[in-house]
Amino acid sequence: METINLKLNAQLETWIGPRDQRVRGWLLLDNYPPTFALTVIYLLIVWMGPKYMKYRQPYSCRGLLVFYNLGLTLLSFYMFYELVTAVWYGGYNFYCQNSHSAEEADNKIMNVLWWYYFSKLIEFMDTFFFILRKNNHQISFLHVYHHATMLNIWWFVMNWQPCGHSYFGAAINSFVHVVMYSYYGLSAIPGIRPYLWWKKYITQLQMIQFFLTMCQTMCAAIWPCGVPVGWLYLQIGYTITLMIFFLNFYFQTYKKRSPSRQKEHMNGSPVSTNGHANGTPSMEHSGHKKLRMD
């Protein structure tokens, strides 16, 4: 395993430069196999969980859902606030920012981005709640792809670009998650659910974040400042895959909606419009099922 790890590091260093030594010794960051193993365990649970629950009654999880979603709302707000303030006071350049030019801001951003990386592990619980509540139709390819890849990609980010230009995608995604998880947490409370008005904007907000992240990444290629070009290509390529999948989801969900679904939505149905039933009533037996995307 150590030989594989060394070969992987050597190949990556020839493409995107040497690893950043400032994060050595940080939890889960020294070696890649633990992150990979956690992802494999996640995928095994995704595969085996529905089989285990097949002949069992679904769990409500309402209290846990409120605690979990609102907890992630607070964590996301913390990360967004800390990143924005560090970037602002550290004088970061929006167009291109290398990772060794603002020591105090860099250190603060590295610490926040570690929490961002770790939050991707916490967010595996999104899928586990679907399994426990037998909302298996919510476990789409996009849902699993997004959760499985984000943890792994951010392991590499933290080892090669733990600050500098990497701040933007994490900051804007944290803001989106404030909006998203606050809705999901509040929607788990039946008395509040009818008053939640912003669910229809979540998917649109997600697609806007991909577009803005793409633009900001391309700026570093147009006005270079030392960020490895290979790293920029990797980020652009991954963002393109998310844009394609989310556009397909948006088209399938909103553009092909039947007239009855449109009427149901206009009447304030509690059905998730962003593909997330995490906290809303199970629609296991409805005719048209939406998939959670985040």
Which positions are catalytic?
146
DSSP per residue, the chain: -HHHHHHHHHHHHHHH-PPPGGGTTSTTTS-SHHHHHHHHHHHHHHHHHHHHHTTSPPP--HHHHHHHHHHHHHHHHHHHHHHHHHHHHHT--SS---SSS-HHHHHHHHHHHHHHHHHHHHTHHHHHHHHHTT-GGG--HHHHHHHHHHHHHHHHHHHH-SSGGGHHHHHHHHHHHHHHHHHHHHHTSTTTGGG---GGGHHHHHHHHHHHHHHHHHHHHHS-SS--HHHHHHHHHHHHHHHHHHHHHHIIIIIS--HHHHHHHHTT--S-SSS--BTBPP-TT-SS------
Reported as half-sphere exposure (CB side, CA atoms, 13 A), residue 268 has a value of: 7
